[in-house]
């Protein structure tokens, strides 16, 4: 204990500077590698216009390298954005978006859709 108390101000400033440098390097490393811990993040919406069974699924799949809609591969931009048309049949349907990242981790998002042909309306339940 006596050794620590006998250090001069120059030593303490050097010690504090080194500690700050290690903290800054740690924060920088965490921000650059946080995608490894977060995994895939899927955000999607279904846009439907009245009087037609066609709809467009738009969204973003962050950190994904492969994405499929109901088992069919769709294309994504560099930032993970996608937009894909889909046709609904009258009655109950399930729309599934599957995404895979470069480490082989999978994420799935499902929409339960009820389409009424006579009314031209779509009711959606998110999972």
pLDDT single digits (tens) 53-110: 888 999 998 888 899 999 999 998 888 899 999 888 888 888 899 999 888 889 999 9
Q: Measuring CA to CA, which residue among 47, 40, 35 is closest to residue 109?
A: 40
Q: What is the percent of the chain where pLDDT is above 70? A: 87
Name every residue whose Cβ is closer than 8 Å to that of residue 114 and which is 6 or more positions away in sequence.
91, 92, 93, 122, 123, 124
Which of these CATH numbers, 2.60.40.10, 1.10.20.10, 3.20.20.70, 3.40.50.300, describes 40-126? 2.60.40.10
Which of 47, 44, 113, 54 has its CA nearest to residue 82? 44
- Could you state, in order of their start, the residue ranges of all structural domains in the chain? 2-37, 40-126
Q: Minimal CA–CA distance to 56: which of 85, 97, 94, 76? A: 85
| pLDDT confidence of residue 81 | 92
Kindly report the length of the chain.
Answer: 127
Rounded to two decimals, what is the model's pTM? 0.66
* 50 and 31 Cβ atoms separated by less than 8 Å: no
Q: Answer for the pair 44, 57: CB distance below 8 angstroms, yes or no.
A: yes
Looking only at the bridges linking them, the beta strands covering 81-87 and 54-62 are: antiparallel
């Amino acid at each position: 204990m006596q050794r620590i108390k006998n250090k001069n101000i120059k030593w303490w400033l050097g010690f504090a500077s080194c500690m700050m440098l290690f903290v800054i390097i740690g924060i920088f490393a965490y921000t650059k590698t946080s995608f490894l811990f977060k995994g895939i993040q899927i955000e999607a919406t279904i846009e439907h216009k009245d009087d037609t069974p066609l709809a467009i699924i738009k969204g973003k799949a962050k950190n994904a390298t492969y994405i499929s809609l109901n088992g069919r591969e769709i294309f994504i931009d560099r930032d993970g954005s996608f937009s894909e048309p889909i046709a609904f049949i009258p009655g109950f349907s399930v729309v599934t978006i599957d995404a895979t990242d470069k480490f082989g981790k999978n994420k799935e998002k499902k929409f339960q859709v009820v389409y009424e042909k006579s009314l031209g309306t779509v009711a959606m339940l998110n999972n």
